Amino acid sequence: MSTPQTTCLFTRFPVSILLLATLLFACTDTTERGADPAAIAESHIWQPDPEVIASREENRPDYIWREEDVPDYDLPDPLMSESGQVINQPEEWPERRAEILEQFRSHMYGHRPGPPDESGFDVIEENPDAMNGAATLRIVEITSRHDGREHSFDAIFFLPNDRTDPAPLFLLMNNRDRDNTDPTREEQSGFWPAEEVIERGYAIGAIQNNDLAPDDDDEFHEGVIRLFEGDDSALHNEREPDAWGALAAWGWGASRVMDYLETDPELDGDHVALLGHSRGGKASLWAGAEDERFSLVISNESGSGGAALSKREYGETIRAVNRFTHWFTGNFMEFNDHEAELPFDQHMLISLIAPRAVYIGSADEDLWADPRGEFLSLAHASPVYSLWGYEAIQPGEMPGLDDPLFRDPRGYHVRSGGHNLTPQDWHYYMDAADRLWE
């Protein structure tokens, strides 16, 4: 069973005639291939700036930048099992979920290992008077030991001092320079607005992705991949075609932070939002699929290999993202220029997070990441969320610019500006947490 791109997604529950009429109105194909810009503008659905499209066409003429050029595509049904069974109840989902996980592990992200043989957590720095007394700084060294090898990385936390109960946490998988998450606060970046998060009553944390797997085709195996594979990991061209790469390694590190949170009574491990931007957003979605302890999973402009539908072939394609040969499995290379042959798509990745919370953020000028394709992935994951009675997000409901859509436990926005993680994004994500964790 497949879902054509112009097919409306209905919940699997009875609806009134009035509601049915409303849904039918929403389920036009104005958000799909061949969309009429005038119709989109009239319905207040986001549409890209024509000048931005023209710029992208000039700079990268070999890629698709217009909806009318998006190919026809069919999306696999996440609720149709490999045996042909239609999943109708939440208790039937785990078996189907395991099938989808295995597809992504085998063809895209790789098989990441479980916890190491031994783990250790050492607080190496603590300052209860950080941020002029508003927060406590805590830096924790997380050490893993496996097969006689050892690997360590640091996790930085700021905890709000005016809370007496365990603090919910926003954890950033930082794919940028360490200055962006400066624990001294001498450098303050909007990429990680720690002061604003503390003011909202949340704790904020960060890990450096490069500490887990260097973001480099030749050195990515140095880190936790070597921890498990030893010197054989250096021979990455001879690794198994479904071996894990850097994206999975970054997510593995986030899971080790969750292990630590189980030991810290001042941080609320039941309310952790995992956040990543760009390639970090790809990793955060996969980490949230692999580890169900994250209660909110946030992708900020993750694009191809993250939230965006691959089969649209809009902006960054599979071939384009696979130029980073260390991110995915060797098997994923088989789908370069063959998106139609994918046995899954990214709406199924988002479905793996259900029934937990997920939020997808896009940016107006970031057409490379395909904002519409990111939204459509969230919408097409709706049938899985409907198993728990959650209202569907229809493909025709993409919100306008700077107008977030909250349909608990899911959220989406397309922000003004370009490819970045900004305080505006953070405030939308904290707004969602306010709703979910009140």
Under 8 Å between Cβ of 158 and 131: yes
From 233, 278, 304, 386, the catalytic residue? 278
- Please identify which of the residues 55, 189, 255, 419 carries the catalytic annotation: 419
How many other CB atoms are there within 10 angstroms of residue 429's CB atom?
24
Helix (H) or strand (E) holding 405: strand 405-407
- Residue 271 known to be catalytic: no
Say how far apart CA 303 and CA 370 lie, in whole Å.
Answer: 6
Specify whether the CB–CB gap between 361 and 412 falls below 8 A: yes
Q: Which residues of 62-83 are buried (b: 16+ CB within 10 A; e: fewer)?
A: ebbbbbeebeebebbbbbbeee
- Is residue 55 part of the annotated active site? The answer reads no
Q: Rounded CA gap, 429 and 388, in Å?
A: 23
- C-alpha 345/C-alpha 433 separation (Å) is 27
Q: Dihedrals φ, ψ of 20, to 5°?
A: -60, -40
Q: Which residues contact 435 (CB under 8 A, 6 or more apart)?
A: 406, 408
Locate the DSSP E strands across 56-109: 74-76
Distance of CA 194 to the CA centre of its chain: 21
Q: Which residues of 391-412 are buried (b: 16+ CB within 10 A; e: fewer)?
A: ebbbbbbbbbbeebbbbebbbb
Nearest to 217 by CA among 324, 116, 319: 324
DSSP at 337: T
Q: What DSSP string describes 150-195? A: EEEEEEEEEEETT-SSPEEEEEEEE-S-GGGG-TTSSS--TTS-HH
CA distances from 269 to 25, 144, 265, 342, 408 (A): 42, 20, 9, 35, 20
CA–CA gap between residue 62 and residue 58 (Å, rounded): 9
- Catalytic residue numbers, as ranges: 278, 419
